[in-house]
Amino acid sequence: MDSPQQSPDIEQVEQLVDIQELFNRSFIFSGAPGGVTKLFAYLAKRETYTKGEVILEEGKPCDRCFIITSGEVDIYQHYNDRRFHLQLLTTGSLNYFGELALLSEFKWFFSARAWTDVTLLSISREAFIKVMERYPESYQNTVKKIINLRINRFVDQSEYLMANIAPDAWREDPPEL
Amino acid sequence: MTKKAANSVRITERSLFYWILRRHRSSQLFLLLIIVVSLFFKVYPLEMQKRIINEAINLKDLELLYLYCGLYIGAVVIAGLLKYVTNVLQVYMGQKILVEMREELYSHVLQLPLQFYRKMQPGTVISAMTAELNAIGFFLGGAIAIPITSVLTFAVFLAFMINLNPLLAMLSMVIYPFELVVIPYLQNKYNKLNKERVRTTRKMANVVNESISGIQEIHGNTSYELEEKKLLIFVDKLYKLMKKLFLVKYGIKFANNFFQSLGPFILFLVGGYMAINGQFTLGALVAFLSAYEKVYDPWKELIEYYQSYQDAHIRYAQIMKIFDLDPPHLMLPPPEREAYSFEGNIRLQNVSYIVGEGVRLLEDINLEIKKNEQIALVGFSGSGKSTLALLIAQLYDSSQGTITIDGHDIEDLCKRDIGSNVAMIAQQPFIFTGTIADNLLYGVQAVTDASATVSRKQIHAVVRAVGLEDDVIRFGLQAILTPDQCAPCREKFLRMRQIVQTSLRDEFAQAIEFYDVDNYLRYSTIRDNIVFGDSMEQEFAVSRLPDHHQFMDLLVREKLEKPLITLGFAIAKQTVDLLADFQDDEFFFRDNPMEMKEFTSYSELLDRLKGPQPKDAGERKLLLILALRYIPEKHSIVSLPSALEKKILSARHSFLKTIVMVDIEQCKTTGSGASIVPIFSEVGSFIPFCPSEYLYTRSLRENILFGAVKSEQILVEHLRELASKAFADEQLLDEILAIGLGFEVGSKGDRLSGGQKQKLAIARAFLKDAPILIMDEATASLDNTSQARIQELLETDFRGNKTVIAVIHRLDLTPAYDRIVVLKAGRITEQGTYDELMDKKGDFYGLATAES
């Protein structure tokens, strides 16, 4: 079936290959078997948002994880009725958000909006679980990576907050008795 | 109901013959006349037989033979025709009587008190009302005609035989007395078994009925074997009964046949002897034998009649036994007065309600409720609060004490008095098969004779008030309207489309890719992109396009056929490669032009193919279908070569111009205006995706949005409200609401959610606008917002114009009520306002603190 004359036009399959390559480069799926990334490429949904549009809102149930293919995304959180900016994500190394949604059901604890016009790929938890059921050997590895990603983000956000923190939040060592 | 005169015998006390003797007397008389006339034509051929042999054959007179034979056949034909008429008349009368019986019985059954239904299994009632009554119907028609015909025929033939030869006649009658003993004996046995059969069948029906109603529980408990065993007991019993039953049944048949053949035996023996000795002519013997055979027919009919009478009698008696109860109240007020209109003063004095062996569910209740007072009935479960509400609604009847409404004892009130003054909402209301509107009007139509007393405005107001509006509008939007249904509002719907297309265009463009005759639609199928419309008779459905000559010629002309088949091939190949391990999971096919069930056939197709352009027409068709279903933005399995977009656009224009004759320039003009398809009302015409056209093959929602949905989420979360507001501003929502009210709710309303059903029931009661409203935990299954909305309504709209009695479980709703009545173990323990009771620190305080 794979004889060369059977291959359809290159142009027609390009889309899937592009997404697959993007996934291969992304931290979550890199190293996963080709079948897995191709399936995710197939199941991913393209979403576009215009500048300023809300992508997800704090308190709403989460159901998918996002990868930025173009544009910038502002991650923020409300605290005491004020909007706190936490991160500005781009297509660089931190080009994803909502990765925990793949693992568990919860309500978004942050919000995201399009800082510029944005194109995203999203993968639903349902799709993630369906694929992982067939590739249990990849599952553990992927979970590990998602946790590591979370740590990366946590470090990034903490550093950002510490850099912008009010002076009175800074403390010396506890007084010696 | 209205037919029932006061002096008539109660339905369950009537005998079977009551129905027969009092109905259709003139038809029955006519039938009798025909029977008497037909007797003559039955005997006449026998006389001809004798004459043919004794006179025509004996004298060798051909003319006489022809004459007699002619008369013979004439009489036979007339007798046959008369028999046909009697049969038809019998069945006709039987069915007419059955209709009346069923109507009156059903009316009686519906009026029986609720207590009756607590004990009665639905299976029993259903089988009694349907199958068992049917069996009686067959008996009814012939109930009078058959015995009379049989006896008369018997007598006439006997007289004929005696006339021929008295001795032989007497001899052939000898066997009948034996039959008179044996047959009834066997029949008696049969009856007993049959009674048992009816009973067992009913029990079996109940078991099946129960397990079907409780199928969820059975699956949940995997109690299949348990249920099978339950049924098996009755199946087994029925099997044994049927064996015995048929043993007796065929015993009867055997006895009959035996006696029947005994007659000719005697006749041949004695008659033959006499004929040989010249005491009897041959013609007379032949006629005698014929007469003997004929005389047996009415006899047999009489026996069969006897059997079916016994059968019908048993069935009838059993049915009537089930329903042998008097309805506790009259249905309609006496002729001298109309139904009362009450103000809503209710008074209970020493009321007790006792069930079974003296179990007192309510004990010595004294309560006075003034008109327009709002009362909350609270208490632990089992305290009797719902029972109290049901007593006031006359659904139960108190065992002791009196309940009065505006001074009238509820005992003496007819159902219509209650029906017009009390609106009741049950905790688990029943929704009937039919539309939402049917269900809404149910209560109103039950107490008024004219159905058009409720205006559309009132209905809409109630639907809004109970918070059902959004749901009804959604149903309305889902409706696919026929041209006739659409006609009155067509302009309004197109106006809604226009609003979305113009003033809300920017917002909606985020979620909708609007139809535009000059743009490629990336969220629509290639089929929609080329055909750009629908035919009313599905002429251009995807599955039919590959066989559509004009369409295929167009593809070839536009140099699209090969690229589309190549595209189809690419889709098939990619899908089969990617999803080989997932072909059993629907999920992976959600965004694929290929359906899960087609996977195997496409997989086999690819195995056969050597390249993307097969020669075989069937194979090309399969690949083309995939391509026609392909939606670029949804189906990521392949991408659309950009060159194809242009070709498809050009094919669209060519298709519209040459095949369906649509003026493309006209299709570009936005806004309403006359339809550009001149014959759009004609079924079978083509409707293009042009702004001036209502698309009769699509839902109302699709018509308003007029494009393919890019993001359902944005649409639902952000745009629905926006559109609702814009439509409401121009009073366009009412039209959608009206269409939504025509939504079919399914059997028992199972196409509605629990909350929707509850809201519908509340709306149904509110629409009745009765002075007394009884709510039996009516809002318990609603979400907090909906519950609050109903509560708000009680406090505003109903304040000062309705007596409200609400059985309430959630105590946080009680502060709004004028008075709270607390029940405990069937007695009222305390009553007062919320603050009074909380200060008192009694039972209510206990309940309230336990809850929090």
- In the block, residue with structure tokens 């699956």: B219
Residues of B whose CB is below 8 A from A47? 711
- B179 assigned to some structural domain: yes
Whole-angstrom distance, CA of residue B505 vs CA of residue B511:
10
Q: Is residue B369 part of a domain?
A: yes
The mean per-residue pLDDT over the stretch B526-538 comes to 91
Pairwise CB contact (< 8 Å): A12 & B638? yes
**Mean pLDDT, residues B700-727 taken together:** 84
Instruction: For chain A, say whether B573 makes contact (Cβ under 8 Å).
Output: yes
> By mean pLDDT, which of A5-14, A54-63, A133-142, B264-273 is the weakest?
A5-14
Instruction: State how far the Cα of B593 lies from the Cα of B628, in Å rounded to an integer.
Output: 9
Number of domains, chain B: 3
pLDDT in tens, B7-40: 467 788 888 888 888 777 888 888 888 988 988 8
What whole-number distance in Å separates Cα of residue B279 and Cα of residue B164? 12
pLDDT on residue B188 = 86
Give me the helices (H) in B467-596, please: 469-478, 483-486, 490-501, 505-509, 526-531, 549-557, 561-579
CATH code, domain carrying B94: 1.20.1560.10
**CATH number of residue B346's parent domain:** 3.40.50.300
Q: Which amino acid is residue B288, in one-letter code?
A: F
Q: State how far Cα B767 lies from the chain centre.
A: 25
Average pLDDT for A79-101: 84
Whether residue A166 is predicted with pLDDT greater than 50 in this model: the reply is yes
Contact B162, B169 (CB under 8 A): yes
User: Is A50–B510 a contact, with Cβ atoms under 8 angstroms apart?
Assistant: yes
Residue B525: predicted pLDDT: 94
Contacts of B510 in chain A (CB under 8 A): 50, 53
- Which residues from chain A sit within 8 angstroms of residue B587, using beta carbons? 126-127, 130
Q: Are residues B560 and B700 in the same domain?
A: yes
Say whether A47 and B606 touch across the interface (CB within 8 A).
no
Average pLDDT over residues B684-699: 86
Give a yes or no: residue B715 inside a domain: no
Contact yes or no for A19/A123 (Cβ under 8 A): no
Instruction: Give pLDDT tens digits for B86-129.
Output: 888 888 888 888 888 888 888 888 888 887 887 777 777 888 88
In Å, how far are B34, B77, B83, B85, B230 from B80, measured between CA atoms? 12, 5, 5, 9, 52
B737 lies in some domain: no
The answer to whether residue B221 sits within a structural domain is: yes
Instruction: Find the angle CA(B35)-CA(B39)-CA(B40) to the nearest 5 degrees.
Output: 130
Q: Assess contact for B9 and B18: CB atoms under 8 A.
A: yes
Per-residue pLDDT at B677 exceeds 80: no
Record: contact B588-A53, CB cut-off 8 A: no
User: Per the CB < 8 Å rule, is A130 touching B609?
Assistant: no
* Mean pLDDT in residue range B766-791: 88
A6 in B contact zone (CB under 8 Å): yes
SS (H, E, C) A73-139: EEEEEEECCEEEEEEEECCCCCCEECHHHHCCCCECCCEEEECCCEEEEEEEHHHHHHHHHHCHHHH
Digit-coded pLDDT (tens) for A111-127: 999 999 999 999 999 99
> Does position B676 have pLDDT exceeding 80, yes or no?
no
Q: How many residues does chain A have?
A: 177
Burial class (CB in 10 A: 0-12, 13-18, 19+), B64: middle
Residue scoring higher pLDDT (A137 or B559): B559
pLDDT classification of B568: cutoffs 50, 70, 90: very high
What is the least distance, in Å, from the CA of A42 to any CA of chain B?
A: 6
B216: pLDDT strictly greater than 60: yes
Lowest mean pLDDT among A113-122, B277-286, B698-707, B823-832: B277-286
Tell me if A43 and B641 make a contact (CB, 8 A cut-off).
Answer: no
Nearest to B612 among A8, A16, A43 (CB): A8
Which residues of chain A have a CB within 8 Å of the CB of B567? 8, 12
**Boundaries of domain holding B497:** 480-710
Local confidence band at A6 (pLDDT 50, 70, 90 cut-offs): very low
User: Is B343 in the same domain as B304?
Assistant: no
Q: Is residue B781 part of a domain?
A: yes
Q: pLDDT tens-digit profile of B790-840?
A: 888 888 888 888 999 999 988 888 898 999 999 998 999 999 999 999 999
Q: Which of the residues A9, A49, A108, A117 would you substitute to probe the B interface, choosing the one with the greatest number of B C-beta atoms within 10 Å?
A: A9
CA B340 to chain centre: 34
Q: How confident is the model at residue B719 (pLDDT cuts 50, 70, 90)?
A: confident
Looking at residues B346-361, what average pLDDT do you find?
88
Residue B86 lies in a domain: yes
Q: Does B210 touch chain A (CB under 8 A)?
A: no
Q: Which of A5, A36, A42, A124 to mutate to test the interface with B (most CBs of B within 10 A)?
A: A42
Q: Is A53 part of the contact surface with chain B (CB cutoff 8 Å)?
A: yes
Nearest to A12 among B578, B581, B641 (CB): B641
- The per-residue pLDDT of chain B, averaged, comes to 86
The residue among B606, B712, B634 whose CA lies nearest residue A42 is B634
**Contacts of residue B610 in chain A, CB cutoff 8 Å?**
5-6
B351 with B305, same domain: the answer is no
- A134 contacts on B by Cβ (under 8 Å): 581-582
DSSP tag of B293: H
Scanning B365-449, the segments in alpha helix (DSSP H) are 385-392, 415-421, 436-447
Q: What is the mean pLDDT of residues B550-554?
A: 93
**Mean pLDDT score, B467-495:** 88
Alpha carbon of A36: minimum distance to chain B alpha carbons (Å): 10
Chain A contact for B565 (CB, 8 A cutoff)? no
CB pairs under 8 A between A and B: 69
Question: pLDDT band at B852, cuts 50/70/90?
Answer: low
Which listed CATH number (2.60.120.10, 3.20.20.140, 3.50.50.60, 2.30.40.10) goes with A11-145?
2.60.120.10
pLDDT interval class at B673 (50, 70, 90): low
Give dist(CA B823, CA B108) in Å, integer.
35
Which chain A residues are closer than 8 Å to B645 by Cβ? none
Mean of the pLDDT values across residues A31-60? 86
Closest alpha carbon within chain A to B634? A45
In this structure, of A62-71, B264-273, B417-426, the range with the lowest mean pLDDT score is B264-273
Q: Are B636 and A13 an interchain contact pair (Cβ–Cβ within 8 Å)?
A: no
Q: Is the pLDDT of residue A173 over 60?
A: yes
* A9 contact residues in B (CB cutoff 8 A): 566, 570, 641
Contacts of A11 in chain B (CB under 8 A): 639, 641
pLDDT digits (tens, 9 = 90+) for B303-349: 788 878 888 888 888 888 888 888 888 888 888 888 888 888 999 99
B302 and B346 in a single domain? The answer is no
CB contact under 8 A, A8 and B573: yes
Q: Does residue B68 form part of some domain?
A: yes
pLDDT digits (tens, 9 = 90+) for B598-644: 999 999 999 998 888 888 989 999 999 999 999 998 898 888 888 88
Residue after which a domain boundary falls, among B322, B345, B362: B322
- Closest-CA residue of chain A to B582: A134
Instruction: Say what the pLDDT of residue B671 is.
Output: 53
Q: Judged by CB atoms within 8 Å, which residues 489-518 of B form the interface with A? A: 510
B545 and B626, same structural domain? yes
Chain B within 8 Å of A11 (Cβ-Cβ)?
Answer: yes
